[in-house]
Structure 1
Amino acid sequence: MSNATQASVNTNGPIAGPVIGASLVCADIDAVSRIYQANFSMSAAQPGVISKEQADFWQSPHLAGAEQIILTSPSGANWLRLISDKTAEKVTPLANYGWMSLEVNVANVDQCAAKLSTDFSVLGAPANLELSDAIKAMQVAGPVGEVLYLTEIKAAVPPFELPMTDAELDCLFIPVLKSPDRAASLAFYEHINSHKGLSFDTKITVLNRYHNIDISHQYPVATLQFKGESLIEIDQVESGNSNSNAGLPAGIALMTLEVSEFPSDIDELASLVTVNDSYYGSSEVKLYRGPAGELVELVLKNN
């Protein structure tokens, strides 16, 4: 999570959330599953096969019959879905527009760091955030080029609503979007959420190191609070690889968010009805493409 200063927020509450999870597209799904289970004590909740209906929904018909694995955290959260695509190549961490990283809460980030295998490369060692000493985090790149922010939250950090946990690894609570246009991306998610976000400038050390620029360089950033102690962070970065192709990209392919209603004036790419799925639940799901080229699934809340 980045450091926020001098921002104001709408008093109306959010209508979207929580973040359900994220999906990784990988060439060797069994290896990635083993790595996550070994490093974070996760378990395979629901290995299965991707149906033709699901593959068509993702605009990736070649994935019909491919394997998918839903991984469960020690806390019981089913938030990480692995999707097998033998043609997928490892992405360069932080390079692409779209879903750049996944922030996950942990009980003790130092213990996580000590346990990590060489399948993860450390981009930033555990350190307290300037925002608050109540947040200590590290950044790592994983086996398919995905970036994880492993974040320990020790106390409340107003005005944000953030989760605390006693579990080794809990849930995804902040998907981080790399965007060429903060305002356009924020407006897209504000519309889905019917709630105003925070906009501010701040340094992002991991990006400054990646771009090999002054460590104090600041980026236009926004955050938008969702229900369920989750939110989205939007980082505006001038350079990035675009994803405009149909279908699921390699790496962090899409984010899944629960909503109480679908936006009426944003065109979806596809719609799907699922039944008895441990990831979606029994819900209608719609797929959208955001302004940064990212894919997001909106799952209608079961009342």
Structure 2
Amino acid sequence: MSDYLKHGRIAGGIVSTPDLDAALADYQGRLGLELAEQGTIAADLAASWGCPGSAGARFAALRPLSGAHCFIRLVEAPLPADFVPTRTYGWAAFELTVKDVFGWPDRLAGSGFEVVGPPKVLEGLPYFIPMQVIGRGREMIYLNEVAENTPTSDLPKAGSLTDHIFITILATPDREASLRWFEAALKLDVSTSYTLAYSMINKAFGLSSDYRTTITMVQKGRLPIVEVDDYPAEATVRQGDPGKLPPGNALVTLAVDDLDALDVAFIAPPVHREGPLYGGRRAATVRGVAGELIELLEIGR
């Protein structure tokens, strides 16, 4: 385990994708991530996620060239024909810290990534410049160039052209309930709230461009972790094979000091796991208020 890991740090995210080879070409060849591991999902790992139907699925794990201990795992899975990103509860996006955000549209031209939000400075948020892309599995990826820290959080500048996931976005039917759960169950801190015109949400639901959404940051001290978003009443539960990983942005792995100290219900008991992400540490998975899958990687024992 590297010094990068501390309680609450994002250690990875899983993307469900219909074509692993093509997605690997996108993430490795275009985003510039390094292949760390590939194979098939073990049955006990799939069961620990509550997704036994994902056993045997092909996967590839990638990490940034910066050396940060954060892995994007691409897992091959059928893509439901009716799945539309940013309209359902669960993990809505992974935010990566990058360099030269204004150069990314050209770098991704002709790839499997569709630019749905070109780089722009956000109203009232001068701390980073984001852009948004959708991948082959209709996963949402934000590429954010950090400009400065916020008054309440430290934002990481990229150490490589594409670096680690530094924020995950959660769509929830009850923002306050989700915030209470992160605070009580995972020993994280509720931080700043913002109300803003959120173009991705407004486009997805056909809302006016000035419709405003409230979002709240979940942190550990000044470490940002999860952005919890209010979603319109039209949002629905994410559909898919109930025995497999959800489509799109499927699961997030968070580092925690001590699994036994958490007030959570594990899908399966913690076990030691091997591989670049786990490093022999114990891991177990829980579900949050929005039904989101959160794999917890124990780092303090």
* TM-score, normalised with respect to structure 1: 0.88
Give the one of 109, 116, 140 matched to 2:101: 109
Range that drifts further, 238-247 or 285-294: 238-247
Work out the number of aligned pairs and report it: 288
Gap runs ≥5 in structure 1? 1-14
Give the one of 215, 218, 223 matched to 2:217: 223
Distance in 1, Cα, partners of 2:65 & 2:265:
37
Name the counterpart of 1:287.
285
Distance in 2, Cα, partners of 1:301 & 1:56:
22
Residue identity matched to 1:290: G
Answer yes or no: is 1:251 the counterpart of 2:244. Answer: no
1:109 Cα deviation from its structure 2 partner: 0.3
Distance in 2, Cα, partners of 1:201 & 1:228:
20
Answer yes or no: is 1:84 the counterpart of 2:76. Answer: yes
Answer yes or no: is 1:242 the counterpart of 2:234. Answer: no
- % identity of equivalent residues: 29
Name the counterpart of 1:4.
none
Matched position secondary structure for 1:17: coil
C-alpha distance 35-170 of structure 1, shift in aligned 2 (>3 A): same
Is the 2:152–2:192 Cα contact (8 Å) retained in structure 1? no
Is the 1:182–1:236 Cα contact (8 Å) retained in structure 2? yes
Is the 2:79–2:137 Cα contact (8 Å) retained in structure 1? no
Name the counterpart of 2:3.
none
Name the counterpart of 1:97.
89
Matched position secondary structure for 1:279: coil
Is the 2:188–2:218 Cα contact (8 Å) retained in structure 1? no
1:116 Cα deviation from its structure 2 partner: 0.9
Q: How does 1:130-145 map to 2 (within 5 A)?
A: 130-145=123-138
Cα offsets for 1:63-85 (capped at 9, x unmatched): 33322210122323342011123
Range that drifts further, 171-180 or 218-227: 218-227
Cα offsets for 1:108-166 (capped at 9, x unmatched): 10112220134222221111122343411111111110111110012222211110124
Name the counterpart of 1:23.
14
Distance in 2, Cα, partners of 1:302 & 1:88:
37
Residue identity matched to 2:264: I
Residue identity matched to 1:128: V
Name the counterpart of 1:38.
29
Matched position secondary structure for 2:8: strand
1:227 Cα deviation from its structure 2 partner: 6.3
Is the 2:217–2:226 Cα contact (8 Å) retained in structure 1? yes
Q: Give the root-mean-square deviation of aligned CA atoms.
A: 2.1
Distance in 2, Cα, partners of 1:120 & 1:144:
10
Answer yes or no: is 1:267 the counterpart of 2:265. Answer: yes
Range that drifts further, 206-215 or 178-187: 206-215
Distance in 1, Cα, partners of 2:71 & 2:113:
19
Gap runs ≥5 in structure 2? 1-5
Distance in 2, Cα, partners of 1:25 & 1:190:
28
1:183 Cα deviation from its structure 2 partner: 0.4
Is the 1:108–1:152 Cα contact (8 Å) retained in structure 2? yes
Distance in 2, Cα, partners of 1:56 & 1:224:
28
Distance in 2, Cα, partners of 1:220 & 1:155:
22
Give the one of 155, 158, 161 matched to 2:154: 161
Matched position secondary structure for 2:132: strand
Matched position secondary structure for 1:171: strand
Is the 1:135–1:152 Cα contact (8 Å) retained in structure 2? yes
Is the 2:37–2:62 Cα contact (8 Å) retained in structure 1? yes
Distance in 2, Cα, partners of 1:61 & 1:266:
21
Matched position secondary structure for 1:225: strand
Answer yes or no: is 1:298 the counterpart of 2:296. Answer: yes
Name the counterpart of 1:171.
164
1:302 Cα deviation from its structure 2 partner: 4.0
Residue identity matched to 1:256: T
Range that drifts further, 37-46 or 180-189: 37-46
1:280 Cα deviation from its structure 2 partner: 2.0
Cα offsets for 1:39-65 (capped at 9, x unmatched): 111221111222221122123333333
C-alpha distance 64-27 of structure 1, shift in aligned 2 (>3 A): same
